[in-house]
Amino acid sequence: MELPSDIIDESNVSAVEKGDVVFSSNLALSSNPLIDLTQRVLAEFIGMYIIMFAGSGSIVVNKLYGGTITFPGICLTWGLIVMAMIYSLGHVSAHFNPVVTIAFALLGLFPFKEVMNECTFLV
């Protein structure tokens, strides 16, 4: 169904709706200039520690109590803890995966000079 052209105002159509998507440097994760490298690396370290603790802990609890959590429960635990860490630490840095850090650097959304620092604490 075609809409009449007098109803659609072209000035209200965004560039994304027109298909003109351009990556720019203003898409960086954190727009706060006060967040420095130490804070980002610390956030990555703490977030990865909590992810590994909760995810591995669900596997141990499942083994100790005779499979009460089950495989879908373990998967749900991993997914929810990753989501919680991204929501809680995302304003600082929320890659939690060296491949995502490298991909962001290749897209120009993350500085190349900080890739090694971030990846060191994730491995």
Which pLDDT tens digits describe the chain residue by residue (123 residues)?
Answer: 555 555 556 666 666 556 665 555 555 555 566 677 788 888 888 998 999 999 999 999 999 999 999 999 999 999 999 999 989 988 887 678 888 888 888 988 888 888 888 788 776
CA distance 45 to 119: 10
- What tokens appear for 95 in the block? 């890659």
Beta strand segments in 1-123, E:
none
Residue range 10-122 forms a domain whose CATH class is mainly alpha
Is pTM, for the whole model, over 0.75?
A: no
CA triplet 117, 120, 123: central angle to 5 degrees?
150
Show Cβ contacts of residue 47 under 8 Å, excluding neighbours closer than 6 positions: 85, 88, 89, 94, 96
